[in-house]
Every structure is written in C-alpha cells, then in structure tokens.
Structure 1
C-alpha cells in the first residue's frame, strides 16, 4: 500500500467534510458519508432543512429557535440506504445521542468522527452495541 494513499476512515471523513460545505446552517455545518461493506460510497449528506422548504426571512437569526427544525446529517444520510446496506459512517461531528441510536438501528458497524460532541452518549451506546466509534482528525481537505 502506498504511503500517500488515504485509509478508508480518512477517505470517508474527507467525503463527510466536503458534504458539510453544502449545509445551509450558518452556525454548525455537519457532513456525513456512508460506505458499504466493499467500501463503496453509498451517499453523502449534511445538516439542514427538509428538501424544498424555504425558510422565512430571519429564520437563521435565532439559533435556539430554529434548532428543533434542523435535520441532522446522519438522519439525512440514513434516508439514502436500507438497514444492513452500510458498514461505515463518517461524520464531521460525533453523533448526538439520537443520531447514534439511529445509526445503531441501521446496523452501522463503524463510525468515524472529527469533532467531539460532549453532550452525546454516543460512546456508551457504541460500547453496548459493539460499534467501533473512533475519532479521525487527520485527513486531507484540499
């Protein structure tokens, strides 16, 4: 294997990072990518509003008010495949508790993330379901 070749977790994280650039959220841009059992890309997704929804003026001004309407990148990603089709998910931020539960329900075996999300129970959930949860902070983004 070439020393310059990306590892699969780095590859998935780079895809998740690129997906995050599509987020319309001015405060937190989160991206996610899913790979199948042959490490082929199933899809990418990002956090944002439901497709086709155009928010009224001022919607983005109050982060706390609009937060409950945001669809997380992991939820958007899971809408692209069926349970058991994806092995790996990479997210730019550690999944929140609800997203970690969703990823486990979809049978994801490995989850990689860049930034730690301290209010998440993801590590405990991953341990219970024997899901690999690992931080990947070094990957090319250029």
Structure 2
C-alpha cells in the first residue's frame, strides 16, 4: 500500500491523486502507476480549473497499471482508492486475484464484482509509510 501511496504523489491532478502498485506471484513489484493524462499530452492553460470538464480525459491509476503487464502476470494490486466499476472490470479481465485499497469509493460496484468473480477485495487503513528509526 505504501508503494501505491508514493505513486499517487506523482499525479498531476490537483483534486484527486490515486496510485496503484502490482505484485506478481513471487511478490515482486511489477510496476506502479497513478491517475493522469495520456503520456506526452500537455494540457492548455486552465485545463485543471474545471474538474468536471477535464474528468473524462483522466486515465485511472488501475488502467495505467494494467498497461505495464500481461494477463495472468499479476497476483495482487494495491490502490489508494477502491477501484471504480470500470477499473474493477479491467482488473478482473487481467486476472488479478487480490485487490487491496485504502479509501472507499461509494459510487463503485467493486464489491459485487469481486464477489461474483471470487476476487479478494479488502480495505487496508494502516500501513507503513516510512521506515522506523534506525539503530546505530
């Protein structure tokens, strides 16, 4: 979850910063991603001012994450926010078996989708962000 949190800090969206991290079946990090605009797109001045107008152009962290692996390569995804309905469907299509999230997204049908497909979906509210004090 800490990796997803750190990834979220890279989002250029001033209103909502979402991050995600993927681990393979050996618990190796496959990649991290965040919500944002398509690579190489430079928004015009004022683009970020109207949240409703720009929202349809934002690529969700989970979609950006899935672009980094092939179906069946990832066991676990951690997201700073519960996947929206569409992102949950995408994660299912990529064969992800476990999804952990920090913040609830009430407009999502993720819980019902997880139950139907037998995917473990769990909220995690406590996780380390920084290493503990070092012993010298």
Same fold by TM (over 0.5)? yes
**5+ long unaligned stretches in structure 1:** 1-12
Equivalent in the alignment of 1:45: 33
What is the deviation of 1:141? 1.6
Choose the corresponding residue for 2:64, options 67, 76, 98: 76
Aligned residues: 130
- The counterpart of 1:101, out of the listed 89, 102, 107, is 89
Which 4+ residue blocks in structure 1 deviate beyond 3 angstroms? Answer: none
Distance 2:8 2:84 in 1: 16
- Counterpart of 2:44? 56
**Counterpart Cα distance in 2 of 1:100 and 1:27:** 22
Question: So what's the TM-score if we normalise by structure 2?
Answer: 0.95
- Measured in 2, the distance between the counterparts of 1:120 and 1:90 equals 16
Question: Cα RMSD over matched residues?
Answer: 0.4
